[in-house]
Structure 1
Amino acid sequence: MRLLLVEDDEILAHTIGNALTEQGYIVDIAHDGESGQDYAHVFTYDLMLLDVSLPKQNGIALCRQLRHEHFNNPILLLTAKDRSEDKVSGLDAGADDYVVKPCTMPELLARIRALLRRQGESSSPVLEWGDLYLNPSTCEVYWQDHPLSLSPKEYNLLELFLRNPKRVFSKSAILEHLWSFDDPPSEDTIRAHIKGLRRKFKAVGAKELIETVYGLGYRLKAIAPPETTSTSEPSAESDTPEQSAAATKQEKTLAAVAQMWGQFKAPFLQRITPLEEAIAALENQSLSSELRQTAEQQAHKLAGSLGMYGLDQGSQWARKVEYWFIERQNPTPDEIQELQTWVVDLRQLIEHPPFPTEAENKVEPPSPPPLTPVQSSLRLLCIDADTSLQASLQTEAQQWQIEVEQVLHLEQAVARIPWPQGDPPQDSPPDVLLLNLNFPNPDNKGLIFLKDVAESCPQLPILVTGENFNFSNRIAIARLGGDALLAKPLDPTQVFQTAWSLFQRNHPPPMSILAVDDDPLILTRLEDFLTPWGVELQPLADPRLFWETLEQCRPHFLILDVEMPYINGIELCQVIRCDPVWHHVPILFLSTNRDRETIHRIYQVGADDYISKPVTELELITRIINRILRSRP
């Protein structure tokens, strides 16, 4: 089902959008009333969630306008305004429900499900079509007693048919209902999902449930009513599995929301800063109306969004702070002290939330690997039946600081590989493999060995050698995981040079990065992200010191913010690209700017990559390491 969320708080919109997507809904997000109205005119939505305090056009006015334009599907108002007259105003404008922030995510999802149930033809929470059952509360699908394991899009497609059992859906209508505005697929994708559903129905004995109406689209095929029916009221015990499944789903939802905290913790802390600045101004009796308004707005956003993460106490403190700035025009010192206590408590709560943070739950990703210093020598394992190979390589191996070992059979090589699930080799494992494949009739075992090593030991470089390589052979080797290819006869210098190059590509020396951002919280977070990976970070908060710092630390990589005082990141990038010494250094922009014009300008001046804040650790690490490796000679 397709939902529209109109919310000007980007953090909260992202949080709710992720939770709804996790439940299988298709979600479009708009950040102001006018954009929300534009979306509503273009697409058909099963339900809309509107914030009340929206820029350009508030949520109540938008709701009233939609009802005037005969939008009859459910509208849910989501707001931090909890006064009775606000609720009455929203409901009188045509809203079906009015949810006061903060509310827990399970409560919000339950209200959405309730509104969607009322919109359907049946009041039953379970959708049925003959022996086919779909429970939207638990996302479970059964044919008779057989559970069906469906992909998210297959589930959404089936739910669309079951909620509209007599309607024929064209491919364009299905696209409109099941894919967001930013992610439109081709019509071939729809045919593939229909085919996948039919295949899974057939596997459990349910044939021809979805029929093609040629020239029009797809619909559920009419099913003859059963000859006899026998129903009985379920006992309390029979409800237990469904309740258990619902509880499990709720736990997963809460866990997913908690996991996002690591991504949004820094922006939440940024919202505390204006509050602290306002308190300092109050103590000096210099609080301006602009700073008071900014502090009130940030407290309002905190009150509405912290509860979505289960931090209800934080929402209460933020609401008190908001009302304090609204009501206290001439505060006493005791009242200022009370305000300061709430803000300090808010910061401590955000910095140390009661649920496990991303850092505490972090599992070390298998790729990319931690950066480690290059060792002074390496071990080359030659897998080749040519007994003269080792002798020809051995003459120059010492000057290249390479220890050469040769095995004549694959079985011997298998015992020398450090397989993840196997016993470690008795001797030190090799650093690089030299594998001979005899084209045009390569041994299938050699190709299988190549594929197995590439998949199981991705950090072990494989240098393939052989004779009569054509283009098809080269494609096959690349697809199976070969890192380099040398045709026989082999030149020892070329072998050793390639071996060292492959090894250093997978084990680069420690890298230094210069990060320029006027936000010290971002710089601290970057240091937390990069240090465990062996990256030396040089943080710089004042861009005026950029050139001096650049020449002093001589970094391998630059991270720049866009908007900074004195000199912006785009200007710094232009300076780098114009310099003959530094023009080659990779540059990544890390910014909250998401407008197309800014992003286009970033790449126009020579940026290599761009990431929108807030960023996850794994995304940042992967982007940086991949860019460093590609920039190495």
Structure 2
Amino acid sequence: MKILLVEDDRYTVAKIREILAQHQYVVDVAADSERAMQLMQSYEYDLLIVDVVLPELDGISLCCYLREQNYQMPILLLSARASVSDRVFGLNAGADDYLVKPFDPAELIARVSALLRRREPFVSPALTWGSLRLFANTRRVTWQGKPLNLTAKEFGLLQLFLENPQRIFSKDLILDRLWTAAESPKAGTVAAHMKGLRQKLKAAGVKVEIIETIYGVGYQLGSPSDLEQPVQGSPVSPIKIEPSPAQQEVMAVAAEVLQEIRASLNEETALFAQVTAQLSAGTLSRELRRQAERHAHQLTGSLGSLGISQGFEAAQQIELLLQGEMALGQTATRQLQHLTDLLKQALVATPAPIVLPSAKIASARLLVIDDDRILVNQLRLAAVAAGIDLEIATTLADGRKAIAQNPPDAILLDLNFGDNIEDGLMLLVELDEQNSSIPVLLFTVRDSLSDRVAAARLGGRAFLHKPISISEVLNAVAQVIDSPSTPEAKILVVDDDPQILETFVDLLPAWGLQVTTLAQPQRFWELLTTAAPDLLVLDVSMPQFSGIELCQVVRHDPQWENLPILMLLERENTDLIHQIYVAGADDYVSKPIVAPELVTRILNRLERIRWRQQPRS
């Protein structure tokens, strides 16, 4: 497992790295949010541990930003602030857990293990491959019941492939997953560890390659049994598939839209040709230069989204050429002429075909506020394919009118407009001040961290950076429109205190949660099977059966081993907290119950479970 620690205190970093290394976790460290974002763009992490107090962008803002960008890895916040309001604030920002400094090493490991244990649905206590069994919690591997003595990296290699049986991993990707950024392993490192792992497996009696080499690509988990070979014979004639009504409608609109796209590109290349002529004559005005630079910047997003790579690269080079205030000479004139010619060639290229979004949007109205004619036309074509009612506004003023006259289900908002008078963030500020419930997705060529943080603070639901495929845009829209603000679920609460049970009954239904209560723990198993809850709440101290004992019973049953469990504690005792996590609890709340904290923890846990159960594309 690979963890990113975002912490600027050297002593705390050293302490946490030592604790996690003892349990064979791979840890990268970032001293600030900017570095954390850089690492997250380069590597894939299983868990993020973030200090609340960081230079420049604090941990809470980083957490908000990541959740707005749909990062789904678990997040554990660290803070010296222990008040209930601070914990609620952190959990509302999107964190999965909140650990107060100073902390006990055992509690840190217990919380980390609990978060990682729930990172995927239906995780078995052991990963199996034929007679091979890998126990992640105890770091053990057996073949036909006999233990194998593997190094930490060999264990990590085997676990990586057993957890991802269908995936091919390149050597570079394996290095990213199992080595830290500071280790700087050599090119032959993966092959050397793979060789050692295979030798140990062979010595243990494994006669086939568990991890197969895909030459020129990487490695993949093999099959524990021989696969059936296809029957050889005459080739099968391809089946002709008639296009569906939706596809026929798309085809009917496609020619019209493509013509409009090419007309827009013609206008852009005419502008660059004008710049080239003035530059050659030595009369290029600053105003025209800035205008052409803005258009080139916009084209990089448009052509990239359309899949026209040659045009995308040419527009990108034109933007770089026109940036700044440095005088442009004859060399620049020739470069601009060449790049404009490449753009003209892009006019005959066919944009990438529209891929229908994997998430369907039922009867949705989408307002697009963007003056990029090329992308707007491509979106219009995709909307026909997806059955979306699309409305277009090319200025912020038109967007305001459209919102006032007929509020849409979602808004796709650009930040840049040609007149440079207004910024899309201004509309987001206005909607935030009006407490608008319309979800807004930012769709822009701008990619600064300050813009992203500002959008997150103003309630933006997503930040989509151009270039991005139209299918990805509509999938993001579908996710925002179709995802409920609070997940509806069934909660089973077991506590011998009637007042506590009454608190749950009074509090949770307002959040769309169905509550079943039980004051007699001896009837627990009977009610568990009939109520079939989505989340279980257990009091730690009860007569006859404690909450810890009931938690262990649940975790030992295959049907319920992945059920989220929240524990109720009379007091925050380090040893007791360690016990509940070892027993398999996911989280806890201290008594007396503080309503905002309880609701936040329950909704966060349910939302994470709901996301994990969504089908992956």
TM-score bracket, shorter-length normalisation: 0.3 to 0.5
Q: What is the TM-score normalised by the length of structure 1?
A: 0.36
> Which of the pair has more CA radius of gyration?
1
Q: Which has the higher contact order (CA 8 A, sep 6+)?
A: 2
